Every structure is written in C-alpha cells, then in structure tokens.
Structure 1
Amino acid sequence: MTTSSDGSPTLDSSLTGVDSKRVLITGASRGIGADIAQTFAAAGARIVLSGRDHATLESFSRTLDTETAIVVADLSTPSGADALAEDAARAFGGIDVLINNAGISYPETVDALDTAHFDEVMQVNLRAPALLAARVGRAMAEGSGGSIVTIASAAALRPLPEHYAYCTAKAGLIMATKVLALELGGRGVRANSVCPTVVLTDMGQKVWGDPVKSAPMLARIPAGRFAVPSEVSATALWLASDSSAMINGIDIPVDGGYLVS
C-alpha cells in the first residue's frame, strides 16, 4: 500500500492484476471517473473513456500513459446504453472491466421535486447503467468473464435529505448489481458496488461546500471528513482486479464510518 499526493491510500499497481485488461469507464472526463481512469492507467489497463464531450475526453486521454479509446455516449437518451455497450466492445475487441460511474444529481426537497429532474436522474443513474451492465455483463459471460464495478453511494443505503431521486436511483442500481452477481457469477462475471459518502469532486464541492450544510453531515462521519476521489478509485481498482476474485455481490462503503454512526 502506498499513498497518493493528497495522502490517501492507493494500491501498488504491481499487485492489482489489471495489466492490459480492457476497461470501460463511464463519466470518465472529470471527478471520480477521471481519477479512476488515472488509477487504472497507472496499473497498466487499456481504457475506453466514455462521456458526452469528445473534445474533453480527447484532451484528458492525452494525459494518460496507456492505450485509450474514446466513445462518446449520452446516457440520458433511451438508446444510449445499448449503443455504448456495442461501441465500447469494438474499441479493443471486448471489455474485461466495466466501471459504471456516470451520474447526476439535482438536490431538492420532496416538496419542490421537479418531475423532469426526477426522470433524468432515473435515466442516467439507474436505467442506463443497469442496462449497460446487463449488456456488457452478458458479453463478458459469453467470453472469458470479467468484473462490473458500480459506483453507487452511501445515499443508497441511508436516506439523505434533498436527494429523493438520487437515493432512489442509487438504491435500485445496487440491487441490479446484486442480481447480476447472482445470475452471472457462475459464468465468470463478478459484480460489486462501491458506496462512498460525499466525495470532494467539483460537484461535491458545489453541493457540500457550504459549511452550514456540510457541518451536520460531517458530524455523522466518525472519520471527521469527506472522501477524496482516490479513495474511491483504489477500491474500484481492487474490485476489478484478480486480488478480489472471491468478492461478488457486495456493496463496500467508503464512508469513514458514516453508515455505522
């Protein structure tokens, strides 16, 4: 175990067992997705970067010291997940690891719930990743197996005010991941979820940067702080690797003890 520049733990790439594996990462151009891409690139994986903006993905890909491919996909559309599954498989002739990371949030109370926001969160955070995992998982099962890692949330396991749609979608995605683990586990495909508390990405800072809002949440985390992206990435790398070959169908909190407080 080593530490990153921000002092958080990372896995020694020589121990991870993802070298040359073909990894599809959704929402890869920023935040947690970008950090995951950097972590997997350092471990020697070949990476399919997916997001909405080709120029941003292309610029980011040039910073990665590994073989990359870019697949632009809009997961807010009905056909986005199916198209991404097909296009990503063509990039390197198949996918060994899927990191289902793309997600959105519209913090609002139940009283102020916007129907359009609710529908979009359900599409991007539940329908699209669930369908993508099913399509990619089926292809993995028909081939040499693989690993599906869902970036879910502690908000899927404990209710969070002003996150009605987000909590609902992420909870559904965890259960979808468990069904994949059950149905495909005997065919060489593992499926697991990572459930972080607040992660200090740009989006996390926008939502939780106000001390008035963050203080009550921090008070519920025994570690006394929010997570940083590299802590999520290290967990995703382990779940994707041969080191976790017997781990299937679980959800791992990366939350500093939030769920036990």
Structure 2
Amino acid sequence: MSGQFSGRRALVTGAGQGIGRALSIKLAEMGAQVFALSRTKSHLDTLKAECPAITTVVVDLSNWDQARQAVSALTPIHLLVNNAAMASLDSVLEAKPEDFDASFNINVKSVMNVTQVVAGDLVARKQKGSIVNVSSQAGQRALKDHLIYCSTKGAVDMMTKVMALELGPKGIRVNAVSPTVVMTAMGKIGWSDPAKAGPMLARIPQGRFAEVEDVVNSVVYLLSDQSDMVNGHLLPIDGGFLAA
C-alpha cells in the first residue's frame, strides 16, 4: 500500500490546510511525487516542514494566467485533486455580486483551468490519469444561506460529468467526492455550536460529521487503479445525508 502511487506525479490544490494538506501527506506516504499548491505561503511552509518530500507551490488560482503557467511547469501530472475552494454563506436576498464572482472564480473556473492544463498535457503525451474534484453535499441538496456555495458545487458536479464524458476515451477518469460537513480545524470552529450542528446532524443517518480521513480515504480510492471502472461519479461522503 505504501508504494501504490510510486512513479506517479500528483497535484493537490488548496493543500495548505484541512483535506488538501492531509491528502498531500497521504499521497506522499503512498509513493507519489506530490506537488502541493496553495496561495498561502505560511501554510505550505509548515506542510513542507512536516513532510519534506512534498514540493510546495505558491500561486493564487484566481489569477488565470499565473495559475496556468505554474501548473504547466509541473507537468506531467498523473493524479490531480481539485480541492481549492472558498465558502461565501448568504441568503438569497443578501448574496453579493462580488462574492458570487470570487466564489465561482475559485470553486469552478479554477477547476476548469487546472484540469485543462493537466489533462491537455496527458493527452499530448498519450498517458493515462485520474482526476478527483472535491465537491459537496451542497451541490445536490439545497441548504439555507448557501445560495452561492450550493450553486458553485452544483456546477462542479456537472463539470465532473462532462469532463468524464470527454476525457474518459482518452484514458483520463474524472470523479468527484461530495462530503458533508468535515471536521477540519475550521469545520470544528464553525460547527461546534450544538444549536447550529444539531439540525444538520439530525439529517445524517450515521449521526456524525465526516472526519478528514473519511474524505482522504475516498479520494485515494478514486485516484487508484482499484477504481479503474469508476468514471463520472459523485461519491457522497455524508453518512447517508443524501439518502434521506
């Protein structure tokens, strides 16, 4: 298991904290040559200190040209995880146009940008690859005060399917994971209030939120050859939330 991804180059966006950070470390432990991308240098510095084998890349994905140039310099990339995202939580009547633009730029447009570079290079080299987009249960179920966030993740879900349809014949699989609330450091702060957490937990049959490892393990499966016939799917990591 430790050498499962030996000889493969992996890129994880939004790798400075939370899911992206844990995933980068896991992939390195499993033998991949990992490139961890984030816009926050201090987060990447601590990641590098924790796992020196990882190559860190500081770039703002909201800048189309700079992101494209930075990712191009890393190719070939055989395993891509589009994890970078932001959350802007407002109601329908209070959502702001600047938050809409910023959220779609990071959560959706950057996925297209990075994937175009990585997949385009693989196609040119006639090499296979696997891509996982980190979506959310919010892409499939309406949540109060999540107008913009739900919309971006719904877009990621359909983008995943179109990518799978077009890239599958070229040997590149594309899937997505759709977690419920994840207990990252930020998640613990945002959902530590029982009054807020209670109603959401009541909608999850397993009665708990996801841990970072739950998401990491699912992404690893989708990246691996063990899921070789899985393409174009949205894998819920939600304890049954979407089944209710």
Q: TM-score range by the shorter chain?
A: over 0.9
Instruction: Point out which structure has higher relative CO (alpha carbons under 8 A, 6+ apart).
Output: 1
What is the distance in 2 between the residues matched to 1:218 and 1:162?
17
What is the distance in 2 between the residues matched to 1:58 and 1:253?
32
> What residue is the counterpart of 2:62 in the other structure?
76
2:237 aligned residue (236, 254, 257)? 254
> What residue is the counterpart of 2:45 in the other structure?
58
> What residue is the counterpart of 1:130 in the other structure?
112
Counterpart residue type for residue 205 of structure 2: P
Matched length:
243
C-alpha displacement of 1:139: 1.3
Kept in 2, the 8 Å contact 1:17–1:243? The answer is no
Kept in 2, the 8 Å contact 1:185–1:248? The answer is yes
Gaps of 5+ in 1: 1-12
What is the distance in 2 between the residues matched to 1:25 and 1:257?
27
Counterpart residue type for residue 17 of structure 1: Q
What is the distance in 2 between the residues matched to 1:142 and 1:17?
25
C-alpha displacement of 1:145: 1.4
1:189 aligned residue (148, 172, 181)? 172
What is the distance in 2 between the residues matched to 1:148 and 1:108?
30
What is the distance in 2 between the residues matched to 1:83 and 1:53?
18
Please give the secondary structure, in 2, of the residue aligned with 1:147.
strand
| Equivalent residues in 2 for 1:56-205, closer than 5 Å | 56-64=43-51, 67-89=53-75, 94-143=76-125, 144-205=127-188
1:239 aligned residue (222, 240, 243)? 222
Kept in 1, the 8 Å contact 2:90–2:148? The answer is no
What is the distance in 2 between the residues matched to 1:247 and 1:151?
16
Kept in 1, the 8 Å contact 2:4–2:31? The answer is no
Please give the secondary structure, in 2, of the residue aligned with 1:24.
strand
> What residue is the counterpart of 2:197 in the other structure?
214
Please give the secondary structure, in 2, of the residue aligned with 1:206.
helix
Counterpart residue type for residue 204 of structure 2: I
What is the distance in 2 between the residues matched to 1:84 and 1:159?
35
Kept in 1, the 8 Å contact 2:160–2:232? The answer is yes
Q: What RMSD in Å do the two structures reach over aligned CA positions? A: 1.5
Under a length normalisation based on structure 2, what TM-score does the superposition of the two structures give?
Answer: 0.94
Kept in 2, the 8 Å contact 1:50–1:71? The answer is yes
C-alpha displacement of 1:80: 4.3
1:185-239 CA distance string (max 9 Å, x none): 1111000000000001122223322211111110000000000111100011111
Over 3 Å counting, the alpha-carbon distance change for 1:159 and 1:80 in structure 2 is: farther
> What residue is the counterpart of 2:7 in the other structure?
20
Q: Which runs of 4+ in 1 moved over 6 A?
A: none
